Amino acid sequence: MKRDRQKSCDLCTKSALVLYRVRRDESSEWIFVCRSCWDHVSRGNPFYVYGGTWKAKKR
C-alpha cells in the first residue's frame, strides 16, 4: 500500500516531495534539504556529503 508523507526542508522550511540527506559543515550533522537548497549547499562546499534521498511516496 502506498502512502503520502510530508517533510520540510531543514534550511528554507518549504515542504517538498523529494529531499536530500546531506552534511554541509564540519559538525557532521545530517540535514534534509530541498532541490533548491541542495544546489546551494553542494556547490563548491568541501564539507558536503550526500547521504541519500527521501521521497514522500513510499513503495
**Residue 12: its pLDDT value, please?**
98
The boundaries of the domain holding residue 31 are 3-58
Model confidence at 3, pLDDT cuts 50, 70, 90, reads low
Cα–Cα distance between 40 and 33 in angstroms, integer? 10
Has residue 6 got a pLDDT over 90? no
Helix (H, G, I), strand (E, B) or coil at 12: coil
Cα radius of gyration (the chain): 12
**CB < 8 Å & 24+ apart, contacts of 29-37:** 32/7, 33/9, 34/9, 36/12, 37/9, 37/11, 37/12
Has residue 1 got a pLDDT over 80? no
| Mean per-residue pLDDT over the chain, rounded | 92
Residue closest to 21 by CA, chosen among 6, 43, 5, 37: 37
**Number of compact structural domains in the chain:** 1
